[in-house]
Amino acid sequence: MKTEYVTIDERSPDMDALHYAGQIIKEGGLVAFPTETVYGLGADALNEKAAAKIYEAKGRPSDNPLIVHITDMADLSRIVRKVPESALVLSEELWPGPLTMIFEKKEIVPDATTGGLSTVAVRFPSNRIAQLLIMESGGFIAAPSANRSGRPSPTLAEHCREDLDGRVDMIIDGGPVGIGVESTIIDMTAKRPELLRPGFVTMEMLEQLLDGIDRDPSLDRTGMPDELSPAPAPRAPGMKYRHYAPRGEMVLVDGDHEAAKEYISGRINEEKEKGKKTAVICADEDRERFGADIVLSYGRRNDYACLARNLFTLLRTCDEKGADVIFAETVPGNGLGDALMNRMRKAAGYRIVNV
Ligand code: AMP
Ligand code: MG
């Protein structure tokens, strides 16, 4: 299939182009589009065949459910059975925005959209291009991230092209995304809401708005599950798959900042001697410190919003430049650091060295 490309400016969106993109989705096609978190790969959420195409284009396991994107609160009750009071509070405060909530689904939502689950994940994005596309498409777009399964999520249209050219009908270039990590996911079907995936909306923000909130225990595991200590299965099915992974081996270094830099420098030398191509992801201030083949900075030290925006691009750059080993320091796990460490631990396959 030939993929069509259009560029749309979020500040003055080309309505003709969006209408055309909406027609593609209404007719059962696939369109990659920007959201404030990462680029999504959209299809009509209520069309079984269209939703199934997403799995094929991405090479995504069929039990990994999609998120349904809406742009009108009145549409929520068309697809979910019950909206608990606490979900109304969250929607008032945080929608439109980077928060996904899980509800019991109505019959109208096909199994292909929910990976066979009786629940459905719903989000109301704030990106204007996403909102207009949803409107033009009939109100319900099923979209996971617009990458090939297993690769880092796309934060630029160029990443969608790398992964999906020739596999989707259209890619909308709306420029770089603002946030860079996927939405926070919270399950609203249990008695107490439960955080299933950390994101830009943090645990701390949710605690302030809710009476109580649980946390999926699998989020806090520190290593890969093995036979002796099997890890609990994550409640958000997508979180069990290998994810965000660069082709090289990524190692996270945890501990005192100076000791971590020392350790990374030593390891870079060792790996170079073995003939490996080394990469380090670090803060601007530390660039000069490392003799790695590839030194990539994410921005000023401790600017975690900047790290979030750049993380997936940097992992893709490591692939492009052929890095065999990639070193990065851990970040503190509170606030946005919760989401960052979640993605980085997975990218590193839980290889974490304590210094
Ligand atoms: P992506 O946007 O690519 O991260 O894909 C959406 C993710 O949302 C999936 O990988 C799941 O982890 C999560 N998700 C979607 N629907 C559900 C659901 N009904 N229950 C739990 N998690 C879900
Ligand atoms: Mg994804």
Tell me what pLDDT residue 224 has. 63
Residue 230 in domain: no
Q: For residues 89 and 97, give the distance between their C-alpha atoms in angstroms, rounded to a whole number.
A: 14
In a domain, 66, yes or no: yes
The predicted-structure confidence for 107-135, as pLDDT tens digits, reads as follows: 999 999 999 999 999 999 999 999 999 99
Which pLDDT score is estimated for 106? 98
324 and 212 housed in the same domain: no
158 and 72 together in one domain: yes
Residue 189 sits in the same domain as residue 253: no
- Report, as ranges of residue numbers, the positions in the chain whose pLDDT lies below 50: none
Q: Looking at the domain assignment, is residue 239 inside a domain?
A: no
What's the confidence (pLDDT) of residue 227? 53
CB 43 within 8 A of CB 20: no
Cα distances (angstroms) measured from residue 94 to each of 71, 184, 200, 293, 326: 13, 11, 11, 42, 35
User: Hey, what are 287's tokens?
Assistant: 């660039």
Q: What domain count does the chain have?
A: 2
Decide: 138 and 71 in contact? Cβ < 8 Å.
no
Structure tokens at 32: 């990659």
Counting residues of the chain whose pLDDT is more than 70, the rounded percentage is 96
In a domain? residue 287? yes
Report if residue 233 sits inside a domain. no
Given the CA of residue 121, which atom of ligand 1 is nearest to it?
16
Query: HSE on the CB side for 281, CA within 13 Å?
Result: 32
Task: Quote the pLDDT of residue 234.
Answer: 75
Cα 276 to middle of ligand 2, angstroms: 29
CATH of the domain at 75: 3.90.870.10
Give the residue whose CA is nearest to atom 9 of ligand 1. Answer: 238
Query: What's the pLDDT score for residue 133?
Result: 98
Q: Which residue segment(s) compose the domain that 154 sits in? A: 4-220
| Residue 79 alpha carbon to ligand 1 centre in Å | 16
- Residue 230's pLDDT is 59
**What CATH number has the domain bearing residue 287?**
3.40.50.11030
Task: Give residue 331 CA to ligand 1 midpoint distance, Å.
Answer: 25
The residue whose CA has the least distance to atom 11 of ligand 1 is 238
Do 256 and 205 fall into the same domain?
Answer: no
Question: In this structure, is residue 240 part of a structural domain?
Answer: no
Q: What residues have a C-beta under 5 A from ligand 2, the ion?
A: 144-145
